[in-house]
Structure 1
Amino acid sequence: MKILVDENMPYARELFSRTGEVVAVPGRPLPEAELRDASALMVRSVTPVNAALLADTPVKFVGTATAGTDHVDQASLQAAGIGFSAAPGCNAIAVVEYVFSALLLLAERDGFALRDRTVGIVGVGNVGSRLQARLEAWGVKTLLCDPPRADRGDTGPFHTLETLVAQADILTFHTPLNKEGRYKSWHLADAALLMALRPDTILINACRGPVVDNAALLEVLKMRGDLRVVLDVWEPEPDLSLDLLARVDIATAHIAGYTLEGKARGTTQVFEAWSAFIGQPQQVALESLLPPPEFSSITLHGELDQATLKRLAHLVYDVRRDDAPLRKAAGQPGEFDRLRRQYEERREWSSLQVICDNAASASMLKQLGFRVSLQGQPSSLPE
């Protein structure tokens, strides 16, 4: 069996070779000739998958090593009897830590305590719920907006988007991209919403570019110098607006979810689905794939404050390392995709063990996702 895999899916060759011949190909553009004798196609978000792509091919299974699925026409796959799997939640921790890293950076730069701010979270799925948990563990008030969950009667409390706009100091989007219907998220943040934001609001988009109307955002930023903006996703990609890029505070190339752990989770989740699909179910231990981190442990004395948390978080990942390359490369053909394709290895906070002499600090760091131990006691993994 020939299995096509995106060349930027880590561990794909190692895993999928257990079940067939693996051919690694670019995701954008995908060499369609390779599909003529392929049994399976494993992609990332840069590869649109639809009926036209798979017409007259023997492909019987499509997997995307991503949480989002708006690039895959699932209805056409189902109609053609083609199996499908995504990787929900695979990069949720990575996105949460990206947002936290950005907030800690802005808090230090602008001189505010994160605990004094209210964060509005739009979309409370795998990412939003984890972000809520970590922010609240740190003592930050959150307001949640998730109409689908509210309509299902899920535990909230959930608020309207208008309430978040009126009350939140920080507004961060973590929704899927729906272009139509009751829960449409296309241009959810339009000109009217952007103009209604409270003074000095921090706006973050790390889900899908068109959730925020980028043309409207540019015009609003020309009028409102008080807003601070963090964009990891753009409209369109890869040809983002250079004018908008110059006006946002933190800009990255759709890499919020790009930790090594997150990528590996995506690959393993899709591999496990594929192996079950062909009747050869296999389970993969994520830890068996990952290399040792650059920094394995550090000792923390005393209580944990915001400045110390920032230093610990940025020891693992500082969002500025991804901001500067995008600004330098912007406008050069192919550079947006190159930054994603050649992305420097990045780990999650759980890769760092913090040895504490303060029980309260140890408890807090564990809730925030670090691996911790009290001096004289064994290491404790985050839950």
Structure 2
Amino acid sequence: MGLRLVIDDAVAWQTEAFGHLAQLHAMPGPSIDRSALASADALVVRSVTRVTAELVQGTPVRFVGTATAGEDHIEREALESRGITVANAPGCNAQAVAEYVVSALAHACEHRVSAPPGPVGVVGLGHVGRRTVRALRALGYDVMVSDPPLAERRAAKLPIHDPDPSLANMARYERLSSLDALLDSSFVISLHVPLVFGGPNPTWHLFDAARLSRLRHGQLLLNTSRGGVVDDGAMVHWLGQGSGRAVLDVWEGEPRLRPELLDPSAGLVLATPHVAGYSLEGKVAATRMVHEALCRFLGRPPDFDGRAVLGPRGTHALRCDHPDAAHDWRPWVRAAIPIRDDEAALRATMQQPVGERPSAFEALRRGHRLRRELSAFSIPDAVALDPDTHMHLGALGLGVPPEPTAPPVRPTEPTG
């Protein structure tokens, strides 16, 4: 076995996916430097390792893969200009992030935003945005979409791909609004854009002080895309005025977070440590996609698909003791995706000495217990669900009883 592969030791199922393809040298992502690559032919990282032309200069590396959907930590053009093959895992965690957004709305009942009196605005109709739109519409939400780069791709008649044909059609034909129109009309705004610093459609500080000041009292901003898409300094001021509300999973300057944002009086509805995309299914998909790219590079058929790890759909029985469970999808989603636990863990890091907080934040991410996506769960047949709740949960991908059995009566006000 001649190929030598340096790999972030946090890449899931690396032995199963890569151990038979190469000699593995696993190490923490932050420790990967040029000396570690001195005899490496290939490199597989996560987002914590910035892969620049300088990092690989003078090394034998000819393949770089990142087991992440985003690749703003990879200097793709510079690497490819040196003959290095670059691969990422687009869409690997898209379903997990979409389900996080649904769970965030389910957890926000006490803030009266789980059923907003107007559209949910989705900014960015890429892999994550499409799945978020689909999930929200399945629950009955009205949705608006803004995506200027997608509008330009359409105008230029460039191809648009998605492994799900219905979502590819959504990307081709969904009505797109301007960002200003979306801000004026939406009561919840969910961000699903890459971090882009230049060009015609930059997203760095897309929501700066000026744009945040445009938001009306009661609007809720969710950022699960990238830290830096929102100006965290401006966010502190906006929340401090008392009218702003936000759900943040990503943070500018990670792993060094602004403590003012996590102050209990700051006004965050939810705060989690960059784990919206952390599902077992997403991790398996990321490893599988990089495995397939490396196999293409080596000219051999792929042989890791992750099915042995995941098992069949709907094999985990989901329990929910909430009194409104028969008439409301929200308690079931909260039971399956309990992101309040992630929030409690993040807020606890703010009680540590300032110098220890960055490493505590990284430890939360590295040690995060991977949740299962909704398709892994089923609701026992004996559970009574009304027709609407039965329909909503089935549309989200959960296994549901054959027929609804509870009368179609819903509570007047969802409880938290």
User: Could you state the TM-score of these two structures normalised by the residue count of structure 1?
Assistant: 0.91
> Would the aligned equivalents of 1:168 and 1:198 in 2 still touch at CA under 8 Å?
no
> Which residue, 216, 223, 226 being the options, matches 2:234?
216
> Which residue, 311, 320, 333 being the options, matches 2:340?
320
CA distance in 2, matches of 1:146, 1:242: 32
CA distance in 2, matches of 1:298, 1:65: 29
The 3 A distance-change label for structure 1 pair 310 and 324 is same
CA distance in 1, matches of 2:177, 2:331: 34
1:39-58 map, 5 Å: 39-58=41-60
CA distance in 1, matches of 2:314, 2:145: 36
Residue number in structure 2 paired with 1:149: 150
Residue number in structure 2 paired with 1:140: 141
> Which residue, 179, 182, 186 being the options, matches 1:164?
182
User: Could you state the TM-score of these two structures normalised by the residue count of structure 2?
Assistant: 0.84
1:91-131 alpha-carbon deviations (Å, 9 max, x no partner): 0011111111111111x212455264421000011011111
1:102-141 map, 5 Å: 102-106=104-108, 108-111=109-112, 113-114=114-115, 116-141=117-142
Residue number in structure 1 paired with 2:89: 87
Residue number in structure 1 paired with 2:400: 372
CA distance in 1, matches of 2:144, 2:133: 9
State the one-letter code of the partner of 2:335. Answer: L
> Which residue, 251, 257, 274 being the options, matches 1:240?
257
Residue number in structure 1 paired with 2:196: 178
> Which residue, 334, 340, 349 being the options, matches 2:374?
349
> Would the aligned equivalents of 1:6 and 1:26 in 2 still touch at CA under 8 Å?
yes
Where 2:59 maps in the other structure, the secondary structure is coil
Where 1:143 maps in the other structure, the secondary structure is strand
1:313-359 alpha-carbon deviations (Å, 9 max, x no partner): 12221110110111111343411111111111311111101245766
Q: Gaps spanning 5+ residues in structure 2: where?
A: 155-171, 405-416
Aligned residues: 372
1:351-372 alpha-carbon deviations (Å, 9 max, x no partner): 1012457666544323212233
The 3 A distance-change label for structure 1 pair 317 and 237 is same
Where 2:277 maps in the other structure, the secondary structure is coil
> Would the aligned equivalents of 2:34 and 2:59 in 1 still touch at CA under 8 Å?
no
CA distance in 2, matches of 1:193, 1:312: 35
> Would the aligned equivalents of 1:178 and 1:185 in 2 still touch at CA under 8 Å?
yes
Instruction: Tell me how far 1:177 sits from its aligned partner.
Output: 0.8
Where 2:196 maps in the other structure, the secondary structure is coil
Residue number in structure 2 paired with 1:308: 328
> Would the aligned equivalents of 2:4 and 2:23 in 1 still touch at CA under 8 Å?
yes
**Structure 1 stretch displaced more, 122-131 or 240-249:** 240-249
CA distance in 1, matches of 2:227, 2:48: 13
1:202-244 alpha-carbon deviations (Å, 9 max, x no partner): 1111011100011111112222x12211111111111110011
State the one-letter code of the partner of 2:255. Answer: P
1:103-161 alpha-carbon deviations (Å, 9 max, x no partner): 1111x212455264421000011011111011111110111000011223331211111
Alpha-carbon RMSD across the aligned residues, in angstroms, is 2.4
Residue number in structure 2 paired with 1:198: 216
Where 1:140 maps in the other structure, the secondary structure is coil
> Would the aligned equivalents of 2:105 and 2:113 in 1 still touch at CA under 8 Å?
no
The 3 A distance-change label for structure 1 pair 122 and 306 is farther
> Which residue, 23, 26, 31 being the options, matches 1:29?
31
CA distance in 1, matches of 2:349, 2:128: 29
CA distance in 1, matches of 2:236, 2:107: 23
Identity, in percent, stands at: 37
CA distance in 1, matches of 2:301, 2:229: 37
> Would the aligned equivalents of 2:209 and 2:234 in 1 still touch at CA under 8 Å?
yes
Q: Gaps spanning 5+ residues in structure 1: where?
A: 377-383
Where 2:29 maps in the other structure, the secondary structure is coil
CA distance in 2, matches of 1:375, 1:142: 29
Instruction: Tell me how far 1:286 sits from its aligned partner.
Output: 2.6
Where 1:103 maps in the other structure, the secondary structure is helix
CA distance in 2, matches of 1:198, 1:307: 31
Where 1:258 maps in the other structure, the secondary structure is coil
Instruction: Tell me how far 1:293 sits from its aligned partner.
Output: 9.7
> Which residue, 52, 58, 67 being the options, matches 2:69?
67
Alignment of 1:287 onto 2:307: yes
CA distance in 1, matches of 2:92, 2:211: 30
